[in-house]
Amino acid sequence: MATPDPPTPAASRDPRELQAVSARLLSLLEGDRHWIARELHDQIGQAVTAMKLSAHLAMDEDDAAQRRDDLHEIVRIADDTIERLRDLSARLRPPQLDALGLEAALRWQVDQLAQASATQLRLQIAPLARRADGDIELACFRIAQDALLQACAAGARHIELSLREDGDDLLLRIEADSRGLADDGAALGLMHERARGAGGHLQFDDDAGMRLCLRLPRQTSAGGA
């Protein structure tokens, strides 16, 4: 079913709709917080505890060879923890987005999904003449990220993502052979809100597979003034 997103000023929207959107956003935010807390407790917390135990063993160890083994174990756990923290930080906000721009961040996300799933992903990015405003790049990346993750979770075997310029706008298209999105209620609502907040326009169609088309201005209203 196609779901176009005509621009609607917040003041003229039904208060019940705004309340429902706010509830969805709060639910998604709470879900993100729960995921972060679980990652910190289950992964980082356990790793730090293991390093502490290994350190105590090393301090009490009389055999020099065994002490070296304990210290090597601490270094191994520390290296793994650093990688987990980098992954956690990248999932919250990939450093490529700020340092290299939207194209690099999208390539990173596609590479991450390709490594983690059996989904075949195809990426087509036309060279952009210049970078968009930071808020626009972030909105575009988050919408693309959510759509890709949701399509994979919905069982997509093939996903194609394209990004190009269209006049003063950025045009993002994502097509997948999944049956919509894994959570097309809250996730799709958040995508619409991100697009609206960035002054853009999002269309979604799941009649035959999943098709998403996002148009965003290169500059925010303030940036273009």
Could you tell me if residue 76 is inside a domain? Answer: yes
Which of 75, 92, 109 terminates a domain? The answer is: 92
Could you tell me if residue 6 is inside a domain? Answer: no
- 122 and 217: one domain? yes
Which of left, alpha, beta for 167 (phi over 0: left; psi -120 to 50: alpha)? left
Pairing outcome for strands 201-205 and 158-166: unpaired
- 70 and 110: one domain? no
- Give every CB contact of residue 173 below 8 A, 6+ residues apart in sequence: 160, 161, 162, 163, 211, 212, 213, 214
pTM of the model: 0.68
Which of 92, 120, 148 terminates a domain? The answer is: 92
Please write the tens of the pLDDT for every residue from 188-207: 888 888 899 999 999 998 88
Which of 63, 92, 121 terminates a domain? The answer is: 92
Please write the tens of the pLDDT for every residue from 126-182: 988 899 999 999 999 999 998 998 888 888 999 999 999 999 999 999 999 987 776
Determine contact, residues 203/2, Cβ cutoff 8 Å.
yes
Nearest in space to 149 (alpha carbons), one of 178, 172, 170, 125? 178
178: three-class secondary structure by DSSP? coil
Q: Which domain holds residue 216?
A: 101-224
- 213 and 170: one domain? yes
CATH number of the domain at 191, please: 3.30.565.10
